[in-house]
Amino acid sequence: MTAQDFTLKSYHTNIEKGSVKWASPSNIALVKYWGKKKDQIPENPSISFTLSNCKTITEISYSKKEGKGFSFDIYFEGEKNEAFKPKVQTFFERIEIYMPFLKDYHFKIETSNTFPHSSGIASSASGMSAIALCLMSIEQELSINKMEVEESKAYFNQKASFLARLGSGSACRSIEGELVVWGENKSVAESSDLYGVKFEGEVHSNFNNYQDTILLVDKGEKQVSSTVGHQLMFGHPFAKERFVQAHDNLAKLKTILASGDLNEFVKIVESEALTLHAMMMTSMPYFILMKPNTLEIINKIWTFRERTDSKVCFTLDAGANVHVLYPESEKETILEFIKNELVSYCQNGHFICDQIGLGANQI
């Protein structure tokens, strides 16, 4: 597929109004996307677990309008929200060539999250993928050339991911589950820089219902946004090596997913998390998103692993919160460990229990 293949060529112009609704999950990367080229093309491949409970629910009502330009309103948790408008405006500008009907309608976008907004959890992946999916449902309503069911489903997901990527890179990995790869690489033949693909390789039963408990260390606004962080990979002294490393780690992870070797899984996942933050600390300007409690938690996890035969490990996104990953078989033990030893490092003792999920669904 090329970008041109995603352009809607003809559509009905006599449809006055309608509404569509989707719930789309967040995802957590195991091999991290950090660094991008023009048009949201990633510098390296990434792979993520789709989450199950942390979701954005978005309804878009559309009605025919006169006049030029985009027209939309956003309501977040029932209240009109101006702060999200510039991001959606940029998104519409980027995707207009693929969805020529965008200027024909006024869109009322009503959105809410299943997790607290102030949790410091990145909602751009779930938020942007939910909008992309709604727009795809509208495209399907307007479309003249209806496809066969199977072909249409594959195209729908692929284009939804393609659009979501143009909203926020990691959002393209939130359409499907349970594991999604984004970025061209040799290990996953069907992989693409343009959209995420469901990982179709062998996955050992050790990863069934893999758990992710998100420890909310810091709920404040990040000092440096991901978008700025990605930019700082330009001219970064270690960028070239990092991008090569991500390809290697993805290849290794593919083998680990098949064998179910959790000791090796822990090594790759924790190394990826620390490398991501090492890139931040060694860019110019440099910055640190981890907080003292992030390090306290990491050390506690390491000590716990030494004294038990647990396979619990951590990963981080671009912030201070810690994602604690563990197999379902350890659910009770790890929740005890979290309550006894880690909760005190969370802001107001808050954490969110989640697990690997199957992707977005229409409501």
- Phi, psi at 52, each rounded to 5°: -115, -45
CA distances to 96, 98, 133, 172 from 166, rounded to whole Å, are 11, 11, 13, 8
Nearer to ligand DP6, 33 or 195 (CB): 33
- Least separation in angstroms between CB 40 and ligand DP6: 6
Widest CA span in the chain = 68
Nearer to ligand DP6, 10 or 227 (CB): 227
- Least separation in angstroms between CB 238 and ligand DP6: 16
Beta 41-42 vs 79-80: how paired, if at all?
Answer: unpaired
Nearer to ligand DP6, 139 or 317 (CB): 317
- Least separation in angstroms between CB 339 and ligand DP6: 27
Nearer to ligand DP6, 51 or 134 (CB): 51
- Least separation in angstroms between CB 27 and ligand DP6: 7
- Least separation in angstroms between CB 259 and ligand DP6: 24
Nearer to ligand DP6, 109 or 276 (CB): 276
- Least separation in angstroms between CB 230 and ligand DP6: 5
Q: Rule CB under 6 A: which residues touch ligand DP6?
A: 29, 32-34, 40, 46, 122, 124, 168-170, 226-227, 230, 276, 317-318
Nearer to ligand DP6, 256 or 280 (CB): 280
Nearer to ligand DP6, 275 or 310 (CB): 275
Upstream peptide bond of 285 is cis (omega within 30 degrees of 0): yes
Nearer to ligand DP6, 222 or 350 (CB): 222
Nearer to ligand DP6, 143 or 245 (CB): 245
Residue nearest to ligand DP6 (CB): 169
Half-sphere exposure of 219 (CA within 13 A, CB side): 15
- Least separation in angstroms between CB 177 and ligand DP6: 15
- Least separation in angstroms between CB 172 and ligand DP6: 9
- Strand partners of residue 28: 49
Scored b (16 or more CB within 10 A) or e, 332-344 reads eebbebbeeebee
- Least separation in angstroms between CB 282 and ligand DP6: 15
